[in-house]
Structure 1
């Protein structure tokens, strides 16, 4: 990753600044619903930042829907077809990208109806969640969080990558999940999320993030 000038900040202030930035975000395809990625390994907790931004948007008069890719996993029979710790499957086959396109991104295209499914699959029960659809009014913002997001070519209008150094990622990832670490090494090599994202957040110290805003 190239050298990026970063500024120390608090998480709350970061949420506020990102919310302010989203107020003026206009999708390039003419959609009335901005779509924002919060990309990062589970240990980087990108969902926490997405929730902070959603909370910061509400008093600014903008509604937001936070969606996590962990709620769009494929069934266990497909995820674990080649074993419970297959790195290739984790990298390209754990998340139901087809369902995300169909149930989340499709309805938010220009001319879409704004009717989004907030979650699809419960990994604990390995069954469909059967959650009701959510109707997003024009101007509402989709905040999608999860790992490995930027190599799927989703039509995001703004991308935020919450990065951990390799040492911090290993330290903060539970040992039972260390088998996933080669997938993040591959992601860094092939996608370079820290260079390609619109906003980079360094979260090695969970109390004191830094960003390139």
Structure 2
């Protein structure tokens, strides 16, 4: 049983999208240093009328609801979400292959790579605050690794491996991560 917007609503939303032109100051331009800006990556989540025209909701035989959307829309949502916490300089400093592509002009930015491939490749470069004392207390194995000099501090561990491992960077994120784990568990994932 799929819930889709009516054809009239979808057509109206598409027409509204075509009519609206974002102001230059509203969306940050992400371009390689010294190069003219030629493209924009989204910096906000669009109003529901846009997504409702693209998203298909279904309830499977198991009773679970799922959403299907075009990959382009998924990537735009990911870019909007990542833009607030993405660290371009750090990402390029830790991903030589991406930096080379940006320098050659093949990619517009590290964020462009992160959205198209880096996120699913588990490459992290996020400005997420890590509560060092709390992180060491919750993860004694990390505290030992820091003491042994394998990592500079908790933020270094989280950025280099903790994010990919699904560790919680600070107590304020524990509920969010628990909710994501439950969603993955309920939907047949492995985390």
TM-score, scaled relative to structure 1: 0.24
Q: Identify, as 1 or 2, the structure richer in helix.
A: 2
Higher RCO, 1 vs 2 (CA within 8 Å, ≥6 residues apart): 1
- Structure having the higher strand fraction is 1
Larger radius of gyration: 2
